[in-house]
Structure 1
Amino acid sequence: MRNFPAQYTLNDEDVLYFSHIPKTAGMTFRTIVEDQFDDREICPATLNAQVAKIPKDELKNYRLFRGHLGFINIPDLLPGKRVVNVTILREPIARVISHYDYIRRMPGDPHYEAVKDMTLAEFAQKLTAGKVGKNIQTYHVAKAMRFKLDDLTPEETLTLAKESLDSFAFVGLVERFQDSLFLLSYILGWKPILNSRKENAAKKKKSFDEIPAETLEIIKANSLLDLELFHYAQEIFEMRFNEMVQQLIAQFGNSSDQAENISSDRLKELLELHYEQRYRDRAVTPSPTLLYDFGQALRGVGWQRRECPPSGPPAYRWTGPGTLSTLDLPQIAVPQEDCLLEFRVIATQATAPDILESLSVSVNRHPVKLYPMHSDRGVKLIQAAVAPELLKSERPFTEIKFEVDRVTSLNAVNPLDPDTRLVGVALNYVQVFPQSAEKQYSAATQLFEDQAWQEAIDFLKQHVQPQETVVAPLAFRVMLNNPVLDYEAFLDGKPAEWVVLHKGVAAQISTILMKLLGRGLSPVFANEVFVVYSNHRGISTTSYVSKHVRPVYIDRVKKNVEHRLKTIYRQYAGKKR
């Protein structure tokens, strides 16, 4: 780090390489670094054998390599690219103990059979890395500068490792993990990263007091190179961290800021200002529309790791572990008309209903009213109107904030799901576009590729008169020029000549049917998804016992009767006991 710029912006010819040394918080750090890259820019391989199977022509397309790749010569595979090295180091004795415990609790680990019956003292002297023995941090850092180390003595390897550290863009410390994330954010101009994840972490860590003194001495004796390298890394870290704090105070601070006792909260505030300046320096041209899918690099906070469905894109993220999540998206060229913010919530069947109901959104810190466009099969499409003045911001980006009242684990919602992360809702895309271009950009248009949806809209276009009001899923708005109201407006008493009943709105359907009857609307069209009602006398009605209307009434009555009979039986049976 001594020989790397204090601030640096990655360019297209740079490849970031995170050398993941075992038990140095690498799994957590890996997901954090992955956030900063598009999914397509990340090499999918994290092990030596996996990289070896990827054609060289494909490897050159990736801008992030991460994992246990110490036996692959990354620079040699990427001619013409600059490899920018980052890593995390850990106090060596604690790292050896953690690695030993990890292997013994993981039967799937390749070293499990060899280690399961070892004592800690034995482990400290075995599974070594060539001439440097148990000093694998020294080994991996040295290899970043010179791939072949066989002809070097242990002392020469240590010297090389120190030189290598000096050329690294970033070296963090497990013992200063949050400060390390702050320093990484500063160097590369990223949004201040907060440590909210714990991937692959032990539930309970041993303290040195639990380990015999003679065992600790054996570990120390076999980790002398790593101990010296770690102390060297500490010196570099302290130097670069202090320089960062002083520079931030000088550029963005005030007279009350003192470098020697600055709090993490204040440091985050200064880093946020620094990030805004670095973002502004990118000079991104405002666009009349924007589309963000979660396969893209994340500029924001309060999100869980990116997930990609087995069936392929689109990628998605859960909000969490807190209740606030933000996205910093490129600025919008402020239009003369309202824009629409549109996003899709997925996995609603795995989301606690009250959490989904509590979702609120703001644009540049201004709350916006949400309108559900359509909800079906675990997916909910939502829009909000955004006035032009809300898109104006002194900051160099458009901030969209999502907030829920609480978070919970997927396991709490479904005990069969082992996922214990705290989450709110899951999203897979967000976009903003002018309201006049809704038909061109809205994902709601995709719904009408389905035959049943297309049949319903064709019927309406044939029969609905100009200015007549239609009650329907708001997605119909993108295909009709008429006023379209949602079911809530209809239930609140708003008049309408047409009602398009989606059979999937189970929570409201009984109440809607009663309102239809009271207002004299009769079925005039039906298919497997919709029943269309109208009060027009010139249109022939559809029988209530026809194939597609009957289930809405007869079958629903039948289910209600069955439910009531079962309730009465339980009450009666309970009294008999």
Structure 2
Amino acid sequence: MKNKTLIFLHISKTAGTTLKQIIYRHIQGENIYRIPSGDSEIKKLIEKLDDSKQKIQLIHGHIPFGIHEYLPNQSEYITIIRNPIARIISRYYFTVNHKNHPQSKLFNDLGFENFIQEDNIITSNFQTRLLLGQSIDLTNYKNFSSLTKNAIGEVKQNLENFFSVVGTPEKFNEVVLLLGEKYRWQKLWYTNKRITRGKINIKNIPPYIIRILEEKNTLDMELFEYATKRIEREINNRGAKFQIELTNFKKENKYKGLIYSILESIYKKIGAFLNPKAKPFFKKLFSSIKPAWKYEREII
């Protein structure tokens, strides 16, 4: 990624927080920026960086496609796309269960079925909108524009031209290995982060609610199908060797992912007390597991 900026277009509830722990293990330093969720004035924010734009290694956030247009150097995107029905269910219950979320009480009072039936941007081809480049204001989530019939074609064109890796949660391990191959990353182990607890099983959702979600997300359904076929094509092109690597990685990750998670927790507790002149052993040990918050800077 030398002289290039990696842009992680993080669509909420698509395993993005889990993926971020791997990214931060390989891209470190002060030139990592997180764009606050829901901020629609990306150009204005980027302009604040001035000369440092040349040095940006990583930009990530719940941001729409198009931020590369404001960067002077070359850039590549990566993203994960999820089945829209599963994503919307997870998004609702994640918000309700996190009482400090600004929309938690609103969604809880509204109720799941009313939330699904009302017109809002979260339940209406949300992923297509982000990847199309639509500005999204989640503080006013009922205010959104309609999509043209050409929207999905434009999104697929964006994905083909600007995204080096596009994956799905179902193929998360495969996505991780492809990223390792593409960017020569080696420490790929992980543990699942920010899993939505207490959500309703999709099998227990009334059929009419499923139909509503399908009708409201026809473009996102097509988008998910595209992502599924793309990742499967990438896997098939790599043949039997990739399958062997995948099997070995899954075995290794069962214990190495846990080890890294424990080390990260330790660092959170004692990192503030580490002496900068600590022995090289400790520097080397913690350099690869510092959590994301240790590095990132918000563009505000």
Same fold judged by TM-score > 0.5? Answer: yes
Q: Does 1:108 align with 2:103?
A: no
Q: Does 1:40 align with 2:10?
A: no
Structure 2 equivalent of residue 97 of structure 1:
89
Q: Does 1:183 align with 2:173?
A: no
Tell me the SS of whatever aligns to 1:96. helix
How far apart, CA to CA, are the structure 2 residues paired with 1:319 and 1:67?
22
How far apart, CA to CA, are the structure 2 residues paired with 1:184 and 1:122?
39
Give the C-alpha shift of residue 208 in structure 1.
Answer: 1.4
Amino acid at match of 2:185: W
Give the C-alpha shift of residue 55 in structure 1.
Answer: 3.0
Q: Does 1:118 align with 2:133?
A: no
* Aligned-CA RMSD value: 3.8
Give the C-alpha shift of residue 42 in structure 1.
Answer: 0.8
Tell me the SS of whatever aligns to 1:87. strand
Tell me the SS of whatever aligns to 1:229. helix
Aligned to 1:26, which of 16, 21, 25? 16
User: Relative to structure 1, is the Cα distance of residues 302 and 161 closer, same or farther in structure 2, using a 3 angstrom cutoff?
Assistant: same
Deviations 1:407-454 (A, max 9, x none): xxxxxxxxxxxxxxxxxxxx44469xxxxxxxxxxxxxxxxxxxxxxx
Give the C-alpha shift of residue 173 in structure 1.
Answer: 0.7
How far apart, CA to CA, are the structure 1 residues paired with 2:249 and 2:284?
31
Give the C-alpha shift of residue 151 in structure 1.
Answer: 9.3
Query: Which structure has the larger Rg over C-alpha atoms?
Result: 1
Tell me the SS of whatever aligns to 1:154. coil
Equivalent runs, 1:387-466 vs 2, <5 Å: 427-429=282-284
Structure 1 regions of 5+ residues with no counterpart? 1-9, 250-258, 270-299, 306-316, 322-343, 351-376, 385-426, 432-577
Q: 1:120, 1:215 within 8 Å by CA — same for their partners in 2?
A: no
Give the C-alpha shift of residue 73 in structure 1.
Answer: 4.5
Tell me the SS of whatever aligns to 1:47. coil
Q: Does 1:226 align with 2:220?
A: yes
Q: 2:131, 2:158 within 8 Å by CA — same for their partners in 1?
A: yes
Q: Does 1:347 align with 2:292?
A: no
Q: 2:34, 2:61 within 8 Å by CA — same for their partners in 1?
A: no
User: Relative to structure 1, is the Cα distance of residues 32 and 128 closer, same or farther in structure 2, using a 3 angstrom cutoff?
Assistant: farther
Structure 2 equivalent of residue 86 of structure 1:
78
Give the C-alpha shift of residue 185 in structure 1.
Answer: 1.3
Q: Does 1:202 align with 2:202?
A: no
Tell me the SS of whatever aligns to 2:55. coil
TM-score (norm. length: structure 2): 0.74
How far apart, CA to CA, are the structure 2 residues paired with 1:176 and 1:264?
11
Identity across aligned pairs (percent)? 23
Tell me the SS of whatever aligns to 1:60. helix
Q: Does 1:135 align with 2:125?
A: yes
Tell me the SS of whatever aligns to 1:169. strand
Give the C-alpha shift of residue 113 in structure 1.
Answer: 4.0
How far apart, CA to CA, are the structure 2 residues paired with 1:40 and 1:212?
48
Deviations 1:273-307 (A, max 9, x none): xxxxxxxxxxxxxxxxxxxxxxxxxxx987647xx
Give the C-alpha shift of residue 86 in structure 1.
Answer: 0.3
Tell me the SS of whatever aligns to 1:98. helix
Equivalent runs, 1:139-288 vs 2, <5 Å: 139-143=129-133, 153-167=147-161, 168-191=163-186, 193-194=188-189, 196-246=190-240, 248=241, 262=244, 264-266=246-248
Give the C-alpha shift of residue 137 in structure 1.
Answer: 1.0
User: Relative to structure 1, is the Cα distance of residues 319 and 222 closer, same or farther in structure 2, using a 3 angstrom cutoff?
Assistant: closer
Bigger RCO (CA 8 Å, 6+ sep): 2
Q: 1:47, 1:69 within 8 Å by CA — same for their partners in 2?
A: yes
User: Relative to structure 1, is the Cα distance of residues 126 and 215 closer, same or farther in structure 2, using a 3 angstrom cutoff?
Assistant: same
User: Relative to structure 1, is the Cα distance of residues 207 and 83 closer, same or farther in structure 2, using a 3 angstrom cutoff?
Assistant: same
Aligned to 1:75, which of 47, 68, 85? 68
User: Relative to structure 1, is the Cα distance of residues 182 and 126 closer, same or farther in structure 2, using a 3 angstrom cutoff?
Assistant: farther
How many residues are matched?
Answer: 268
